Structure 1
Amino acid sequence: MKFISWNVNGLRAAVKHGFADIFKTLDADAFCIQETKLQAGQIDIDFPGYYQYWNYAERKGYSGTAIFTKHKPLNVTYGIGVPEHDTEGRVITLEYPNYYLLTCYTPNSGGELKRLDYRQTWEDAFLAYVNQLDATKPVIFCGDLNVAHENIDLKNWRSNHHSAGFTDEERGKFNTLLANGYLDTFRHFYPDQTEIYSWWSYRGHARDNNSGWRIDYFITSKRLVDRLLNARILTTIHGSDHCPVELDIRL
């Protein structure tokens, strides 16, 4: 099975930059996207052979997630069941006989860390939700988790120590997530790989200079470790300020 995750930073914009061709070339079993920035009816997109599921934010032009999958799920859930956190279209869960697949767009802590406190409550609620699923069957979740975990996960870690996405609080929550029985699949295969990122600012020629952050992930329940085949970051693919990430797994 081949899974792809991509923060497209506006699907309508991504379509203008070749999204459909990229989608077809990657030929994933499931293609999870974040930051669609859409409301229902604002785009007409169809990929033959794929079921599609959308979670829209109440606020127009903001957030939003979607999953395109070749495999019809047993059940689909939108959000995490907590009203406080379910107005921004950030999570979709597909249930299959032997696993759950989630796409997630974690809230950004924002300028001057104005949403850091909210982000902390989100992290706790999301982990509780994932743990509830994991108690039933293994979980695979992916998306823009808006955190660079370790120093090697961003170029300028010294100057960004207290920036959104690299605060001690956010990294601590990621540590807690992993300690609950989950695996960062890219680091499983490439524990010491440096200079490979999934997001680059549009400012200062960051992508040209590879001055980026690794904030897009595939996370799995640890008990799937023997089924993992590879995890990749597709840095040569453009069309957003993020690039896609990939998980290959035997299910």
Structure 2
Amino acid sequence: MSSPLRIATVNVNGVRAAYRKGMGDWLDSAGVDILALQEVRASTDDLVGLLGDGWDVLHDAATAKGRAGVALASRNKASIHRVELGDVEFDSAGRWLEADFAVGDDVVTVVSTYVHSGEVDTPKQVEKYKFLDAMSARLPELEKHSRYSLVVGDLNVGHTTLDIKNWKGNVKRAGFLPVERAYFDRFVGPAGETVECQDGTKGTGLGWVDVGRRFVGEVPGPYTWWSNMGKAFDNDSGWRIDYHLASPELAAKVVDYRVDRYPSYDTRWSDHAPVVVDYALDAGRIGG
């Protein structure tokens, strides 16, 4: 009997710390086939040792040691992977990792990405826009490469007012700036059509699908990140900034979506929660 392909993404906020706090228990019970990680902040050897037997691990570390880092772990080896994004002068190390996985007769391309958090009126925000520009150029190429393409990870932007509990207090902060949200208007706008963006501009839709929003509908959240300040987690005063962005053909295969929110503040092993999606592709046929 076939089982759906289960793909999970989570910003671990340092994988060694996450494992000390209980990430391994979650992974043992989650039934994940492909796991995308962000903010690994460890060596490849560390990551392989923590995940243990049965996982094939791809890891792209950041240029600065101990920062960022993205990874893809799977139950079967990827056929090929790529880490370059944008111009050669643009440093995307530790923030963009693509891999192709054979699933029966199909190829599923998965990207683990960690978009810059940004900071208004600083070089950090400039770098964030450079990254989002490069991502905008890459998305159409990905869909041409594989009809089943998926970009997952911590994208560090809440797209609409439904994605942030306290959106009114964050309209001038990085992560909810109208210019940032306009990128997402274009990402998920109808392919080839003119899109009215939240910053007052117009753009061309790329036709990708925000799996979480499509699955849960026009409701608040479900949030995926909570500040460590105050009672944000206890009050569910969070942000939905961790995504599955799927090509239309892959989005049509979604059969389940969930955010594995922790039972309580003291059981958290990251400030982000895993986002887990089942796709109606036979997981038993990964690798052949």
Equivalent residues of 2:86, 2:134 under 8 A apart: no
1:148 deviates by: 0.4
Matched with 1:61 is 66
State the distance in 2 between where 1:71 and 1:200 align.
33
RMSD, aligned CA:
1.7
2:158 corresponds in structure 1 to: 148
Which moved further from structure 2: 81-90 or 207-216? 81-90
Q: In the alignment, does 2:170 pair up with 1:160?
A: yes
CA distance in 1, matches of 2:140, 2:116: 19
Out of 38, 49, 53, the residue aligned to residue 54 of structure 2 is 49
Query: Is residue 24–residue 51 contact of structure 2 (8 Å, CA) maintained in 1?
Result: no
Name the SS of the counterpart of 2:132 in structure 1: helix
Aligned residues of 1:79 and 1:85 also touching (Cα < 8 A): no
Q: How far apart are residue 84 of structure 1 and its match?
A: 3.6
Match of 1:118 in 2: 127
Residue pair 1:195, 1:210 contacting (<8 A) in 2 also: no
Do residues 246 (structure 1) and 272 (structure 2) align? no
Contact 2:155–2:243 (8 Å) recurs in 1: yes
Going from structure 1 to structure 2, the CA distance change for 1:42 and 1:99 (only over 3 Å counts) comes to closer
- RCO (CA 8 Å, sep 6+): is it higher in 1 or 2? 2
Structure 1 residue runs of 5 or longer lacking an equivalent are none
Letter in 2 for 1:164: A
**Residue in 1 aligned with 2:24?**
20
* TM-score, with structure 1 as normaliser: 0.94
Shift of 1:117: 2.1
**Paired letter, 2:59:** W
Q: Which residue of 2 aligns with 1:82?
A: 87
Q: What is the distance in 2 between the residues matched to 1:87 and 1:186?
A: 26
CA distance in 2, matches of 1:83, 1:206: 40
Query: What letter matches 1:240 in structure 2?
Result: S
The Cα shift of 1:208 comes to 1.1
> How far does residue 111 in structure 1 lie from its aligned partner after superposition?
5.9
Tell me the equivalent position of 1:220: 246
**Contact between 2:221 and 2:239, CA under 8 Å: does it hold in 1?**
no
Give 3-state SS (helix, strand or coil) of 2:128's partner: helix
Q: Structure 2: state its 5+ residue gaps.
A: 189-204, 282-288
Contact in 2 for aligned 1:39/1:57 (Cα 8 Å): no
CA distance in 1 between partners of 2:58 and 2:186 (Å): 29
Q: Distance in 1 between matches of 2:187 and 2:216?
A: 19
CA distance in 1, matches of 2:107, 2:40: 28
1: CA distance between counterparts of 2:57 and 2:45?
A: 14
Matched position secondary structure for 1:45: helix
Structure 1 residue 46, shift from structure 2 partner: 3.6
Residue 130 of structure 1 and its aligned partner are, at CA, apart by 2.4
2:11 aligned with 1:30 = no
**Counterpart-to-counterpart distance in 1, 2:136 and 2:21:** 34
Contact 1:29-1:70 within 8 A present in 2 as well: yes
TM-score by length of 2: 0.82
Q: Which residue of 2 aligns with 1:2?
A: 6
What is the aligned residue count? 251
SS at match of 1:250: strand
Match among 188, 203, 228 for residue 229 of structure 2 = 203
CA 1:42–1:236: 2 relative to 1, 3 Å: closer
Q: Is the Cα contact below 8 Å between 1:148 and 1:214 reproduced in 2?
A: yes
- C-alpha contact 2:85 2:92 (8 A) present in aligned 1: no
| Residue 39 (1) aligns with residue 43 (2) | yes
Call closer, same or farther: CA 1:118–1:195 in 2, change over 3 Å.
Answer: closer
Q: CA offset at residue 87 of structure 1?
A: 4.6
Q: Is the 8 A contact 2:227 2:271 kept in 1?
A: yes
Report deviation, 1:40.
4.3
The 1:212/1:136 distance shift into structure 2, 3 A limit, reads same
Larger of the two Rg values belongs to structure: 2
* Residues in 2 aligned to 1:7 and 1:29: alpha-carbon distance in whole angstroms: 17
Query: Contact (CA 8 Å) 1:39, 1:60: kept in 2 or not?
Result: no
